[in-house]
Amino acid sequence: MQDAIKKHALINAVEYEGKANPQAIMGKILAENPELKKDMASLGKEISKIVKEVNSWTLEKQKKELEKFGKIEKPKKEQREGLPPLKNAEMGKVVTRIPPEPSKYNHIGHALSFLINYLYAKMYKGKCILRFEDTNPDKVKKEYVDAMKEDVLEYLDIKPDKTVFSSNDIPKMYEYAEKLIKEGKAYVCTCSVDETRNLRHQGIECKHRGQNVEENLKLWKDMLGKKFKDGEAALRLKIDMQALNQALRDPAIFRIAYVVHFLQNRKYHVWPLYDFQNVVEDEICGITHIFRSSEFRLELQNYIKDLLGFRMQTVVQYGRFEVEGAITQGREIRKLIEEGKIKGWDDPRLVTLKALRKRGIVKETYYKLAEKLGLNPTSAKIQWHMIASENRKIIDSTSNRYFFVGEPIEITLNKVPKKIVKAPLLPGKKTSRKIPVTKKIFVDKIDFVQNKGKEVRLMHFCNIILDKKAKVTSIKLKDVPKIHWVSSKNVKIKLVMPDAHEVEGLAEPDVSKIKPNQTVQFERLGFCRVDKVKPQIIVYYAHK
């Protein structure tokens, strides 16, 4: 049994950048040996133990260990290209929407949701509308609108057919509200917030529920006429105060808030709540298909659509996109920024689009992930290796290779066999770079400590006995450890790592030719994105 677990752990580790997933191993073992379900606890412990050991090995060692099991036949999977077909979709008639609330910065989960809407509109040659849902005036800001436009239009390269702001349609929302009042389906309530909460919890009607249409119309006009202060009145739907679903216990659909709005200034003070605004906007925009995460409840919005005689869109629900081990909640990030624990919304420890863009994640990666993860009904756990794997496939062939030494140790060669070394600029292509050679060179501290006194190969150059005074043994390629290096002709670089710590190091002189936004690969270290070149070259680490 241990051999079977080890084999599957190695297969999984090699496939996913050296990190095996115990849950994936469990599934494979149980599929082969269903009788082991009787003692899942013992099996789980054994799997955890073996996976821990396998994950502690280098990828090279994992590959060698896997070879001991002979040729591994991978099961052929029927892979679907792109997203699955949509229900009730006619070519040229599908209309979707990207509906962000501009109250925070977007993260990768938002990006994938946006792309699902956009890609389906493109698939059916329909339309996609970018709609800023800006009717929560306490939270929305122009800063977030600008950031989202940059993320959606520039970074993700989404080209919406139209861009709208929900707050521009507030007069139309007032018309629908008045219609409901006249039909006796909504009433103005002046109970306090606490009183309303308690009555809804208990399923008890408040005294305002019995007001006639004329009274409610007068109070509605008083709301619009600034006769009430913040929070003193709300327009509520008259549904059922004993409904099992508490969301249907006479919910508020308009509230009062005297707030300066970034777009409307002080034009409005009676604001629609999310569900009402959302329903009206979908009708105005002519939306045919709505994509929502599966935890979203549809009952209230469907009830409002029915009351107003609106069409019912096709609603497609899918699992949330969750990034494993990452903070995505806006309020948590905001607090960390205020406390000085992270530097901002583009801090490399975050998975906001600002942070990922800075680290060199390219737009095509999101498109690939959106198509792969698609409309899975269960929550999709996005692990960093998935992002890195897709990104690497895209940038590998265009990222120039260079040497970078993070913790430089100076050594002196006893002789210099060559003055210039030629090294590949891009693997598989004829382009090359020239690395000047000097008697004094720099190697990484970790390589020096691990290989001092041993024969090593200076990559693309020669073999030496590594020491402060190093002896050149030959230029012939040998089966000895390879290490990277730079000569005394170099450029200084600041490298920002994923945990936000900064490494001041040296790189070969050709690095001075790189430009902002370019991705490069520092050999033996990983892919990086160039953020600035003046006054100092600053690069952000992306992934292996």
DSSP symbols for 381-429: EE-HHHHHHHHHHHHGGG-EEE-EESSEEEEEES--S-SEEEEESSTTS
pLDDT in tens, 22-45: 878 888 888 888 788 777 778 888
- Helix axis angle, 2-15 to 59-67, nearest 10°: 130
> Can you give the pLDDT of all 544 residues of the chain as single tens digits?
788 899 888 888 888 878 888 878 888 888 888 788 777 778 888 898 998 998 998 888 888 888 888 877 655 544 545 789 999 999 999 999 999 999 999 999 999 999 999 999 999 999 999 999 999 999 999 999 999 999 999 999 999 999 999 999 999 999 999 999 999 999 999 999 999 999 999 999 999 999 999 999 999 999 999 999 999 999 999 999 999 999 999 999 999 999 999 999 999 999 999 999 999 999 999 999 999 988 888 899 999 999 999 999 999 998 888 888 888 888 899 899 999 999 999 999 999 999 999 999 999 999 999 998 888 877 778 889 999 999 999 999 999 999 999 999 999 999 999 999 999 999 888 899 999 999 999 999 999 999 999 999 999 999 999 999 999 999 999 999 999 999 999 999 999 999 999 999 999 999 999 999 999 999 999 999 999 999 999 999 999 9
Element (H, E) at 38: none
SS3 label, residue 262: coil
Question: Which pLDDT score is estimated for 81?
Answer: 58
Q: Quote the tokens at residue 157.
A: 């390269």
Task: List the alpha helices (DSSP H) in 225-352.
Answer: 274-285, 299-308, 330-338
pLDDT number for residue 297: 84
Alpha-carbon torsion 268, 168, 118, 397, what sign? negative
Which residues are CB-contacts of 50 (< 8 A; sequence separation ≥ 6)?
2, 5, 6, 9, 25
Specify the pLDDT at position 427.
Answer: 84
Question: CA–CA distance from 166 to each of 130, 132, 140, 273 (Å)?
Answer: 10, 6, 12, 11
Q: What residues have CB less than 8 Å from 441, skipping those under 6 apart?
A: 410, 411, 413, 458, 485, 486, 487, 488
Cα(27)–Cα(368) distance, integer angstroms: 26
Asked if residue 404 lies in contact with residue 507, where contact means CB atoms within 8 angstroms, the answer is yes
Is the bond into 535 cis (omega within 30 degrees of 0)? yes
Paired strand residues for 421: 435
